Amino acid sequence: MAYGTLRAFLKALEKEGDLRRIRVEVDPYLEIGEITDRVNKAGGPALLFENVRGSSMPLAMNVFGTDRRMLKALGLKSYQEIGDKIGGLLKPELPQGFSGLREAFGKLGSVAHIPPKKVSDAPCQEVVLKGDEVDLDTIPALHTWPQDGGAFFNLGLTHTKDPETGVRNLGLYRLQRHDKRTIGMHWQIHKDSRNHYQVAARRGERLPVAIAFGCPPAVTYASTAPLPGDIDEYLFAGFVQGKRVEMVDCQTVPLQVPAEAEVVLEGWLEPGVMRDEGPFGDHTGFYTPMEPFPALTIDCVTMRAKPMLQSIVVGRPPTEDGPLGKATERFFLPLLKIIVPDIVDYDLPEAGGFHNCAIVSIDKKYPKHAQKVMHAIWGAHMMSLTKLIVVVDADCDVHDYQEVAWRAFGNVDYARDLSVVEGPVDHLDHSSYQQFWGGKAGIDATRKLPEEGYTRDGGWPEMVASDPATAARVTRRWKQYGL
């Protein structure tokens, strides 16, 4: 079972010696970011900064910074557990597309334990501040990198709903603190919350927004998952943690937030109210430039009596994004196979920002099978943003980068096996020569068939491998060799 609160998880980590308390005063301007980045890259523990300059709130960092902690937070022994559970829902009848996941959930006898549950009293509303009582400067925001355009909240879970359908969305977006009552909403072009804002603006309406910090781990993870707009992130969070997420009505906006959150910001976005946001040292490892984004006025802050905040440092990998991204890679393999059933396995390298590169293995059956898979992936929901796809045979371990490199570097005729196309790219992609779209490549690193034009004598050669009988004999005698 996943941990039901951030506090319970931190307590368990401290008991195991996997959390360190920093009691000396630390500066949210550059210092906390530098400390956290060093500890994360060294594979170190979660951190709880108890004395943050300018705030009375402790700040939890690097909470999901290792695979061990990520799995522990979600109550898992391996990422494959959830992948297998999702895969089990999709059999024997595979639903059509991602939206079929909702119907698949309905097959569970325990479905009543998954949807969120409304409660009337919540720890996150023990303290309520409204109007002029609101002061965002008392909540620790991080200025992580020298050229950042200001201080940012990096792990605020943003709640909106479609003004026409009422379907809610939970997303994770960076939030720049402009002043005591205003934050910038970095809603990229492909994000659901941006679509909600545009619908409201077209209707001449303001959009209600609620931002929750320090949520139960499964909820925080669900906010990062690339779910289609018609699947409720709270349904998915309940599925992951094995129990319903308790929700409470906000004080001033018609939205619900997790009852066990630490801090919640509530406000309304007026149509057309924009402010310059950024620059920001992002997960790409580069600064994203200043752009105008919607500016949210905070009318109400609710919190626990003694709240803490949770945040994250992003930048050049590896960072805390790594375990979060790996969880998504493993969880969503069964869903990707619905759209592209040819896939045996895949890997999304952290060095590629996860969505920029995909290594895919297939059981090749016919000429240009690899190219078919490439184009299918480029048409699969958020996988459309993938810039590089490397397709290998099923006998290649996609998680062994040395093996993949051996296949892709020296066993490819790039005049024939390289596909170059154009399509949508991430909003944050600085390498494309114009924003939002650019070049993509697919590398066919599979064995080539005669029907694909590989007509050299003898056909595609066999890979070097040990004689099985000799290998078994050497294994039996290994101790005799004194090695």
pLDDT in tens, 211-241: 999 999 999 999 998 877 677 899 889 988 8
Tell me the Cα Rg of the chain. 24
CA triple 124-127-131, angle to 5 deg: 110
Q: Which residues are within 8 A (CB) of 403 and not within 5 positions of it... i.e. 6 or more apart?
A: 396, 397
- DSSP conformational letter for 463: P
Strand partners, 310: 60
Q: What is the pLDDT of residue 101?
A: 54
Q: What is the pLDDT of residue 90?
A: 57
CA distance 55 to 408: 51
Q: What is the pLDDT of residue 114?
A: 79
Q: What is the pLDDT of residue 99?
A: 53
| Residues taking part in catalysis | 282
Q: Is 11 helix (H, G, I), strand (E, B) or coil?
A: helix
- Distances 149 to 92, 202, 265 between C-alpha atoms, Å: 52, 30, 22
- DSSP conformational letter for 271: T
CA distance 313 to 38: 10
CA distance 329 to 349: 10
Ranges of the chain with pLDDT below 50: 92-95, 108-112
Q: What is the pLDDT of residue 100?
A: 56
- DSSP conformational letter for 134: -
Whether the full predicted model's pTM is greater than 0.85, yes or no, is yes
Phi, psi for 362 (deg, rounded to 5): -135, 155
Tokens at 57, concatenated: 């709130």
CA distance 223 to 67: 18
The bridge status of strand 357-362 relative to strand 388-393 is parallel
CB of 94 closer than 8 Å to CB of 271: no
pLDDT in tens, 242-296: 889 999 999 999 999 999 999 999 999 999 999 999 999 998 899 999 999 999 9
